[in-house]
Structure 1
Amino acid sequence: MSLHAAVPALAMLADDNSNHDSLNPLLTGGGALAVLLLLLFLATRFNKDR
């Protein structure tokens, strides 16, 4: 496949016309908050500086 033949095929692949649902921002933010709180708990629980 030459470069001139590949360009339209790659442009068609790059064009995002799909109608998929995106990630729920509330679920994503809540999950990130839960992970960070868990990491904070673990970091403070196993702190040996006291």
Structure 2
Amino acid sequence: MSGHLYPAHTRIGLPKMSFHSAAAPLVNLAEAQGGHHESLNPAVTGGSAFVILLLLLWVTTRFNRDR
């Protein structure tokens, strides 16, 4: 007996998938494509995302003022 309460043909649900088995194909794809591009500077990309998020926060707070 495999330790399950019900036989395999009566169990309902999807097979369990670990994080490693789910992420491994994505890692392989990223490694095959190179993963890096000369024109993408992490500091510029992160700084731009930060500025955009601050702008969205400012716009949200302007619209959310109590009148």
Q: Report TM bin, short chain.
A: 0.5 to 0.7
Q: What runs of 5+ residues in structure 2 fail to find an aligned partner? A: 1-31
Larger radius of gyration: 2
State the number of aligned residues: 34
Task: Give 1:36's aligned residue.
Answer: 53
Task: Give 1:46's aligned residue.
Answer: 63
- Normalized per residue, the structure richer in helix is 1
**Backbone CA RMSD of aligned residues:** 2.3
List per-residue Cα deviations over 1:12-49 (Å, max 9, x = no partner).
Answer: xxx547xx51510000000000000000000001114x
* Shift >2 Å, 4+ stretches: none
| 3-state SS of paired residue (1:41) | helix
Please give the TM-score of this superposition, normalised by the length of structure 2: 0.42
* Percentage of matched positions with identical amino acids: 55
